[in-house]
Amino acid sequence: MDERDARMALCCAVEPGNLAMTAAVAEHGASAVFAGLRRSASRSRWARRAQTLDLTLVQRSAERNRLRFLIPGDDGWPAALGDLATADAVQEMGGPPFGLWVKGDAVLAEASARGVAIVGSRAATPYGQSVASDLAAGLGGHGISVVSGGAYGIDAAAHSGALATEAPTVAVMAGGLDKPYPPGNATLLQRVAGQGLVISELPPGEHPTRARFLARNRLIAALCPATIIVEAAWRSGARNTVSWASACGRVVLAVPGPVHSATSTTPHRLIRDAEAVLCTGVADVLELVGPLGRQPPSRPDQHRRLDALSTDELAVYEAFPARGDLDAGEVALRAGLGLGRCLAILDRISESGLIESSGSGWRLTPRAVTPAGD
């Protein structure tokens, strides 16, 4: 059996994220490891699966469902997944996938290299869904793809936001690609495959399990340079994805939420403990994941016209009412300055366009009349 078929067979026989098997493949190669399972006299479930596997049926199912199978070294294989080989284990799982089934025409390596993972609670609030969708659409507008898990809540909102742009989006599944999961997102996942990719390390016919969701999370985290967590309770799959992102040395960002919401617990804790960078919008993400040497997006100018005024100049400026004129003597009295000093300051401030001379004295210019505190 050649390396490609052996890797496909191992995806069928061995549960994702098995540390011992991925280490064995790294040392001996997939063909030797699978051949060993087929010859094994042990009653391990991996050996039993390998010995009863009909790979031809799997290949026919993949062909019927228009799935491609990628392995390391193929065009489109993301090199970033190799980081899972050296990342610390999370919940006794780890290692890169043996291969990936892929549905869609986008190139996975390209989409993930310039991509950001957006994850969060399935029981998302309207606030969280809005933030996830806006982030995904904003990133897509900058040509950045979005990777998520295709689930309800934050995942679905992130994919939907990305679909509103021309950038690809990638959904990483915890089961076979022949049956969309969850079924209620079937139409969404079909659209994702049309504009981007739906991928899984599990063969057609396999259904999601809790362990497979946890193993799936390592792929979401490893694929992208950064992971954003939008909403998550203290115990959640999204928190597991963040653990994988940290283990792989990826940037982690967290979106703050309402302090009374249970779904704000994990993002707030991550920010507090410096495990994640505060994310308030697309600009925060682009600053961290933009190419080196690229100018970060401009932020709104926070400088106020009054910041440049000295203490005496500010006293003169604040002596004026929003409407009406004052003569120089009244201004000096209100500002607590001598008349000569006040006249010099009035001339200086007028040059900045904050005040102007009127026939009967001085007044604020229209553009200087702003709400208190601005």
**Dist CA 252 CA 63 (whole Å):** 37
pTM of structure: 0.79
Structural class in CATH, domain 58-289: alpha beta
294-306 b/e with 16+ CB inside 10 Å = b? eeeeeeeeeeeee
Write the pLDDT tens digit of every residue in 280-317.
999 999 988 865 334 444 544 445 667 778 889 889 99
* Residues 21 and 201: beta-carbon distance below 8 Å: no
Query: In this structure, what token pair is assigned to residue 142?
Result: 């900058």
CA angle centred on 218, ends 50 and 216, rounded to 5°: 55
**Dist CA 317 CA 325 (whole Å):** 12
What is the distance in angstroms between the CA of the first residue and the CA of the last residue of the chain?
73
Spell out the residues 6+ positions from residue 262 whose beta carbon is closer than 8 angstroms to its own: 233
Concatenating the DSSP letter of every residue in 260-304 gives T-GGGHHHHHHHHTTSSEE--SHHHHHHHHSPTTPPPPPPPP---
- Position 238 scores a pLDDT of 87
Torsion from C-alpha of 181, 187, 193, 194, nearest 10 degrees: 180
- Position 293 scores a pLDDT of 36
CA 37 to chain centre: 39
**pLDDT in 10s for each residue of the chain, 374 residues:** 899 999 999 999 999 999 999 999 999 999 999 999 999 887 788 999 999 999 999 999 999 999 999 999 999 999 999 999 999 999 999 999 999 999 999 999 999 999 999 999 999 999 999 999 999 999 999 999 999 999 999 999 999 999 999 889 999 999 999 999 999 999 999 999 999 999 999 999 999 999 999 999 999 999 999 999 999 987 788 889 999 999 999 999 999 999 999 999 999 999 999 999 999 999 999 988 865 334 444 544 445 667 778 889 889 999 888 888 899 889 989 989 998 899 898 888 888 888 888 877 888 887 665 544 44
Chain region(s) in the chain for CATH 3.40.50.450: 58-289
Coil vs helix vs strand at 326: strand
**Dist CA 242 CA 154 (whole Å):** 15
CATH number of 305-368: 1.10.10.10
- Position 290 scores a pLDDT of 67
